[in-house]
Structure 1
Amino acid sequence: MAFEPPQRLVRALGETAPAGDDWLARLSETAERTVARRELTVERVQVPGGRSSLVVLVRRADGTPAVLKLAPPRARPESERAALAHWDGRGAVHLLDADAEEAEEGVLLLERLHPDVSVRSLPEAKALLEAAGTLRRLWVEPPAGHAFETVAERTGRQAGAMRAGALAEPGTAPLVEAALTAREELLAAPPEHRLLHGTFRQSKVLAGERMPWLAVGPDPVVGESAFDLARLVRDRVEDLIAAPSGASITRRRIKRLADSLEVDLERLRGWTLFRAVESGVRALRVGRDKDAELLLEFAGWL
């Protein structure tokens, strides 16, 4: 069958594709070759799918349902593979195949969850509770000799892009400066070094069979828990912005999440600020002005 990538994926990868990158052009051929090699039966491509990989619902030769995921090198699939192997199904989707040759191609074969049922489908308070409980299970000691990126390394790369963004959009300069100052203070004395999901939010938590909720799609990083939790704080940001008391709701959410997961409130607030500004500046850079406006207004509340 032809593996047509969803338009959401095409648009998202187009925003970040380096010059000369032909991963999307080769995707259908790669998927066909992988399906044949693993003797998989294809059910359908997941639509709208994610923003960094092609997700295909398949069945293995013995009839077991599974998910085939293909990701370009810039999505760091080898890092996702290593994290999923370390978690071994505890709080996260189970990695079904650790074939080294396939890993080089950015191919993952995963446990089938319920792809259309995320924790985001729950009422907001319940969704936050379930998501936070799932996230807690992922915060473990990283494996010895790991090669995961650290929070300091990842945010260092992002800081450079944020400074450039502030030069291009001077109106963002005060928020960028506040976010960069917060980062420097937070990195001065990190309280712990845990393996983190890296891109955790409600839509990354899917319903499963062996556990009610399991995390998918990590971009793992090693650092403090507050960094991971910070992305969850701004979930449903469009609803927060639309609410007359959005700023108050946000402050209460930060306190509730910090208390429930035993994370320092001020450190969570600082990382929430940094991550919201970084995402907002990045959205401006690629022309997603509406997203940028929401994120930067949210950051202004912090």
Structure 2
Amino acid sequence: MTFEPPQRLVRTLGETYGDAVAAKWLGELPDATQVAVSRRKLDVERVQSPGGRSSLVLLVRQQDGTPAALKVAPPFARPDLERAALAHWNGWGTAQLLDGASADGSLLLERLRPEVSLHSLPEAKALLEAAGTVRRLWVEPPADHPFETVEERTARQADAMRATAGTAEPDALALVDAALAARAELVVSPPELVLLHGNFRQSKVLGAERSPWLAVGPEPVVGERAYDLARLVRDRVEDLVAAAVGPSSTRRRVNRMADSLDVDRARLLGWTLFRAVESGVRALRAGRRQDGELLLEFAGWL
């Protein structure tokens, strides 16, 4: 199968896993995709672009003509965990998984409307719909689940932040220290352990046929709901930074979101700080200076 992988996929894999690892998998991707398509006897319509950040997404049709989406991901992106989470949710708030276990890292999913995400709505409506979607995902994890905890995931991220801190400018270093201190306090006694999306934001919620909105692209983790909301808080961060009332608007957003979903305000604020600083430091490390500085400015308001 001949195609050009979307540039967002190429860039993100290189930044996250290293250029050599990414290049090796991308070189194997056409053959792996052909195997996944042939095994299911699918008709390929097109590659979705910009598509996913850690997987190739093809819009396909099954043998009976039913539209679907085929997602092909590298093993180091742990598609097995996404499969396990989607199977547990069974279409409740998320795209439906359409086939069983696969050894090749591919997932056949219900076709949603990739061109329509919550970003197409006015901000207030988008946040309301996002809240209604994410609350459906917060369920008890399956027994003997394979998912890591928020504490485990953020421990790795904290180590990477400490390693980078030595080269950070004083303002950024102060934010790193504050974010690490917030995390250390938050992981001591989490109020709950539920299954989380792990990377929930407006662009991860797409229009659908059987429900107005369904979530896609989970990076499942087990922990408290405030962690899941923390990424959503900074959606449309460019608009917040551009506004003269950005700091006060951000605080109001945190409070409204916490209150509407019965989450502790202080815990949501703490996880929002940690996740924003971690993303900002990671962006700077990858050479995306504008993104990194934007996120750190946002974090400074918290």
Q: Would you call these one fold, judging by a TM-score over 0.5? A: yes
Matching residue of 2:231: 231
Partners of 1:8 and 1:227 in 2: how far apart?
A: 25
Moved over 2 A (4+): 16-21
CA deviation digits over 1:49-78, x for unaligned, max 9?
121110000000111100000111222111
Matched, 1:210 2:210: yes
Correspondences of 1:8-157 after superposition (within 5 Å):
8-18=8-18, 20-21=20-21, 22-99=24-101, 102=102, 104-157=103-156
Partners of 1:160 and 1:53 in 2: how far apart?
A: 26
* 1:30 alignment partner AA: A
Matched, 1:5 2:1: no
Give secondary structure in 2 for the equivalent of 1:92: coil
Deviation at residue 20 of structure 1 after TM alignment:
4.6
Partners of 1:15 and 1:214 in 2: how far apart?
A: 28
Deviation at residue 139 of structure 1 after TM alignment:
0.2
Partners of 2:138 and 2:34 in 1: how far apart?
A: 36
Matching residue of 2:179: 179
The TM-score normalised by the length of structure 2 is 0.97
Partners of 1:226 and 1:34 in 2: how far apart?
A: 37
Give secondary structure in 2 for the equivalent of 1:42: strand
Partners of 1:269 and 1:243 in 2: how far apart?
A: 20
Matched-pair contact (CA < 8 Å) for 1:233–1:253: yes
Contiguous gaps of at least 5 residues in structure 1:
none
- The alignment of Structure 1 onto Structure 2 pairs a total of residues equal to 299
Matched-pair contact (CA < 8 Å) for 2:45–2:58: yes
Give secondary structure in 2 for the equivalent of 1:108: strand
Percent of aligned positions with the same letter in both sequences?
70
Matched-pair contact (CA < 8 Å) for 2:179–2:270: yes
Partners of 2:16 and 2:133 in 1: how far apart?
A: 29
Deviation at residue 17 of structure 1 after TM alignment:
2.9
Give secondary structure in 1 for the equivalent of 2:257: helix
Matched-pair contact (CA < 8 Å) for 2:255–2:265: yes
Correspondences of 1:150-169 after superposition (within 5 Å):
150-169=149-168
The TM-score normalised by the length of structure 1 is 0.97
Give secondary structure in 2 for the equivalent of 1:217: coil
Deviation at residue 14 of structure 1 after TM alignment:
1.4
Deviation at residue 120 of structure 1 after TM alignment:
1.1
* 1:195 alignment partner AA: L
Partners of 1:197 and 1:275 in 2: how far apart?
A: 14
Matching residue of 2:277: 277
Matched-pair contact (CA < 8 Å) for 2:36–2:104: no
Matching residue of 2:219: 219
Contiguous gaps of at least 5 residues in structure 2:
none
